[in-house]
Amino acid sequence: MDSDGRYEQQVVWAVVGTGIGPLLLAATHEGLVNVVFHATDAVRDKALERLRSRLGGEPVEAPDSPLLAEAIRQVEAYFAGERHDFDLPLDWSLISGFNRQVLRELASGVPYGAVVGYGDLAGRVGQPGAAQAVGMAMGSNPLPVVVPCHRVVESDGGIGGFGGGLETKRKLLALEGVLPEPLF
């Protein structure tokens, strides 16, 4: 236990180069807990501070950790076009309630190469009319790419928003064959 009476979890992390820029992957003994886009030094440091604050303990850079090895392998295979599904234990402790329910449905119910509308996803979790709340859940997704919030789009065919930036969302959807590859 830490000085505030919280149980500390060991958090290990590594930064992985991908076709959309560096991703920070962080894991606990439960599984992958966080994926962070554009993991430059400043973004990485802010993410690690947030993990320290939320989970306790000091995150440790450990790219060779058994807790991260499979996640790194699967992320690299996904970006190489060799993997369509992630099969990883996930630690959902950074999200709860409706947001967790929506993200779990997204992870299990929207396969590679498919998209779903915000309203459709709301309906799948028994909350028709909660499209805006689904958008908020996507924005708070601690596990983007692995829990594929990039596959959620507007019902009128618009791409919708994305925490990693619209260009990143376009690249992910192009990788999965939903959108054409950009010309330049």
Catalytic residue numbers read: 149
Distances (CA, A) of 115 to 31, 81, 84, 182: 26, 18, 14, 19
Nearest to 99 by CA among 56, 69, 64, 143: 143
Q: Could you report how far apart the first and last alpha carbons of the chain are, in Å?
A: 52
Length of the chain equals 184
- Half-sphere exposure (CA, 13 Å, Cβ side) for 73? 9
Instruction: Please state, as a whole number, how many other Cβ atoms lie within 10 Å of the Cβ of residue 132.
Output: 11
Instruction: Please state, as a whole number, how many other Cβ atoms lie within 10 Å of the Cβ of residue 22.
Output: 16
Three-state DSSP at 176 gives: coil
